[in-house]
Amino acid sequence: MKLLTASSALLLLASTVVAAPPRPDAATHKSSRSRLQRAAARRSPAQHAGQAHAAAASPSADDDDDDNTHVYETNWAGAVIETTGVQSVTGTFTVPVPSTDGSGAGWVGIDGNDCYTGILQTGVNWYRDGANVTYVAWYEWFPASMEYWTGFAVDGGDVIRATVTADGTRSGVALVENLTKGTNISHAFTSSETLSPLCQTDAEWIVEDYVEDLAFVEFADFGTFTFTDASVVTAAGTTGLADAEIFDIEQSSVIRTNSSILSDSSVAVSWIK
């Protein structure tokens, strides 16, 4: 969600190719941290081993009576739907008050998973440093860098609806609404901001342990973060989460989140450690 500097992109690449080279097209574009890491993780035999281990170590995974695929990644938790003709993705959440120091982000997006050209995202970051807890709402059309909305205060406990809408592959809007107060802020992307086209082939509702200064930010305990009223509008109509892939975060063999689809319109992500 944030842009890498050229040197940090190289460093990240250098560290990830050890496990598995990202796809050539991923390597030639400057990539968001999440996408780069996901590209590497998806293709890493070690990651698949980790996934198998995780499933074996967690009996509850076997008891799961839904058919949702469960994917472990280094920085994403939540739900992803792979489809075609994605026009709009929305989800509502209560901004968490982190109980430990660190950061995290909650957002909705189009094409963060498998597109490799454009990504349209909007959401909220949280930061805790002792008693100081701060929040910021932001939007991004990758590969342009993430932009913060100034003048739109976000507080823990606010009920926020985040929506991204693509009016085609090079045009769209990011919208954040404060449902508690009835306020909103939006950004319509201009052609100079949509540098690279969307594929409109995936929709996601994500809690992210993002990377800053070449390292994962300390992943603050956000409790349970729940997206409700989640849906994706495609050329074929509106779909819920029933068939979504579930994502969870695993770093160095440590499982850090536990996500589950609660209903066709809701996914919950619980912080574990």
Ligand X SMILES: *[C@@H]1O[C@H](CO)[C@@H](O)[C@H](O)[C@H]1NC(C)=O
3-state secondary structure of 50: helix
Give 68 or 184: the residue with its C-beta nearer to ligand X: 184
> Phi/psi of residue 128, each to 5°?
-130, 130
Q: Which of 76, 107, 127, 141 binds ligand X (CB under 6 A)?
A: 127
Tell me how far CA of residue 126 lies from CA of 12, 41, 142, 144, 155, in angstroms. Answer: 24, 25, 21, 21, 9
Among 11-19, 112-120, 173-181, 209-217, which window interacts with ligand X (CB under 6 A)? 173-181
Q: Which of 169, 170, 175 is nearest to 187 (CA)?
A: 175
Number of residues in contact with ligand X, rule: CB under 6 A? 20
* Cβ-contact 170, 191 below 8 angstroms: yes
Q: Which of 152, 170, 228, 239 binds ligand X (CB under 6 A)?
A: 152
Residue ranges in 230-259 that form contacts with ligand X under rule CB under 6 A: 258
Beta carbon of residue 49, minimum distance to ligand X (angstroms, whole number): 18
Q: Which of 28, 84, 180, 190 binds ligand X (CB under 6 A)?
A: 180
Q: Which token pair is 255?
A: 């499982």
* Cβ-contact 12, 21 below 8 angstroms: no
Q: What's the rounded Cα separation, in Å, for the pair 22 and 32?
A: 13
Give 56 or 153: the residue with its C-beta nearer to ligand X: 153
Among 148-156, 166-174, 207-215, 227-235, which window interacts with ligand X (CB under 6 A)? 148-156
Q: Which token pair is 205?
A: 């509702």
Give 31 or 94: the residue with its C-beta nearer to ligand X: 94
In the stretch 41-80, what mask flags binding to ligand X with x, by CB under 6 A? Answer: -----------------x-x--------------------
Q: Which of 95, 75, 64 is nearest to 34 (CA)?
A: 75
In the stretch 184-213, what mask flags binding to ligand X with x, by CB under 6 A? Answer: x-----------------------------
Q: Which of 248, 245, 241, 243 is nearest to 263 (CA)?
A: 241
The residues of the shown chain that bind ligand X, judged by CB under 6 A, are: 58, 60, 127, 129, 132, 134, 152-153, 155, 158, 175, 177-178, 180-181, 183-184, 258, 260, 272
